[in-house]
Amino acid sequence: MEQEQAVRRRRPIFWVLALFIGGYLLLRTGALFLGEGADIPGIKWTPYKEVVTAGMQGKKPVFLYFYSRWCVWCRKFESSVLSSPDIGSILSRDFVSSRINVFHPLTEKATSSFNVTGVPTVVFLDCRGDRIEVFPGYLGKNELLKVLKEIHNAQKGRSC
């Protein structure tokens, strides 16, 4: 009987502790999903709200990279493709680039307006903000280099 009462007294403490730890872990996980993460060397990222304006001012097409922190293919795309000096220099010189976390509440509209249903997804816009091309899924380095050059050459000299 005494053991049963002792167990009953400990149960509320257990649940309070479990809720506290669970809440902490949930907040930490949420911070990971909402944060933009570490920068990729060589690429200048522009906030999403500013990309079209920056594209018009610089007369450059826009590169939108949709990702999530938990996505294995996004991490591979970042470490194997975007971190390449070739890719970084082209993106920084010839494009206005934005990295968009699909789980950030402020990017829900962008994610839905470009019909992003999976990550990684790359979207190209012209300097006026009109959609040029959408690439869902992983792009290899050579494939992305080819696309970047084609889009840059096609957009060169166009008025914004």
List pLDDT tens digits, range 18-37: 545 554 444 444 433 333 44
Same-domain check for residues 57 and 29: no
Same-domain check for residues 146 and 67: yes
Residue 2: pLDDT over 80: no
Distance, in Å, from the CA atom of 159 to the CA atom of 121, rounded to the nearest integer, reads: 27
Domain that holds residue 114: 48-155
Q: Is residue 39 part of a domain?
A: no
pTM reported for the whole predicted model: 0.74
Q: Is residue 41 part of a domain?
A: no
For the residues 108-114, what does the mean pLDDT come to? Answer: 88
In the sheet that holds 62-67, the strands lie side by side as 96-101, 62-67, 121-125, 131-136
Q: Is residue 114 part of a domain?
A: yes
Which has the higher per-residue pLDDT, 138 or 59?
138
Residue 158: pLDDT over 90: no
Which has the higher per-residue pLDDT, 31 or 40?
40
Supply φ then ψ for residue 44, to 5 degrees.
Answer: -90, 110
Q: Is residue 15 part of a domain?
A: yes
